[in-house]
Amino acid sequence: MNLANEAALTRDPNAVLPYSKPKIDNTKAGNNPLLYPSNDWVDQLIKDYTVNQSYNMSASGGERIQYYVSGTYTIDNGVLKVDTRDLQSSHS
């Protein structure tokens, strides 16, 4: 909120500030979290770690006829936290 106010003043020294001092103070103090929410969006949206897996297989050979077979299977879970309840209900 302080940075948003600072950005507004940088663009226009006479700008109306997007966040008032009482709103900033109440948010910092944790007063009434419904009225003054304080969210750590990085913590709420990004996982601490993720696991990525990749499997490769290939085969080739042949005397009269040459062949080559290849396959790849990749699991990439990503870094965003996903509510698994939503996934389970959509597959039911």
- Reported as a pLDDT band with limits 50, 70 and 90, residue 90 is low
Is 32 a member of any domain? yes
Q: What is the pLDDT of residues 9-37, one digit of tens each?
A: 999 999 999 999 999 999 999 899 899 88
What's the domain count of the chain? 1
**How far, in Å, CA of 19 to CA of 23, rounded?**
6
Is 57 a member of any domain? no
Is 62 a member of any domain? no
Residues 6+ apart with CB under 8 A from 57: 70, 71, 72
| Higher pLDDT, residue 88 or 37 | 37
- Reported as a pLDDT band with limits 50, 70 and 90, residue 57 is very high
Percent of the chain residues past pLDDT 70, beyond the cut: 92
Is 91 a member of any domain? no
Strand (E) positions, the chain? Answer: 52-61, 67-76
Residues found in the chain: 92
pLDDT for the residue 40:
86
Strand (E) positions, 46-89? Answer: 52-61, 67-76
Is 27 a member of any domain? yes
**In terms of residue numbers, what domain contains 32?**
2-40
**Among the listed residues 79, 84, 83, 85, the one whose alpha carbon sits nearest the alpha carbon of residue 47:** 79
pLDDT for the residue 70:
95
